Amino acid sequence: MYFFRRAEGSTVEELLDRLPDPVFKRAVGVLEMISRTPDQRRHYDARLKWELDENTRIQTAFEEGELKGREEGELFGKIRMLQNLLSLPQSTDDALHPSSRTELETLVTELQAQLRKRMT
């Protein structure tokens, strides 16, 4: 209630000092936006849109990186398992990391072929 009763007669700084909770900070931001001119409001909206777009871009990049890491880890596991079955020395992460996905898949295919050949 304090916020609603005192908001009109207080400066932004005073409100933020008295009510440091993030919910009130957001409310103060909305009040500031409402009191702006149409041009200032357009600028605010454009900035808000940019922030939302940037957050989405970062989240998407994070998710793509996470997926790529999982897929790479699966290939590392297949390579090591096949090397183990073939009684070959197992490659380290440091040895495998510089390889592209295509190179890793090719290595898996070659190791699978060696295993098939050995089993026949």
Residue 99: strand, helix, or coil: coil
Average pLDDT over residues 93-107: 94
* Per-residue pLDDT reduced to its tens digit, 37-91: 888 888 888 999 999 999 999 999 999 999 999 999 999 999 999 999 999 999 9
- All residues at 6 or more sequence positions from 16 whose CB lies less than 8 Å from its CB, including other chains: 24, 25, 28
**Residue 7 one-letter amino acid:** A
Residue 30: strand, helix, or coil: helix
| Pair 75, 99: CB distance under 8 Å | no
Percentage of the chain modeled with pLDDT above 90: 61
| Pair 82, 115: CB distance under 8 Å | yes
**Confidence at 95, pLDDT banded by 50, 70, 90:** very high
Handedness of CA 15, 17, 22, 26 (dihedral sign): positive
Average pLDDT over residues 7-30: 71
Which class for 44: exposed (0-12), middle (13-18), buried (19 or more C-beta within 10 A)?
middle
**Residue 28 one-letter amino acid:** V
Whether the model clears a pTM of 0.85, i.e. scores above it, the answer is no
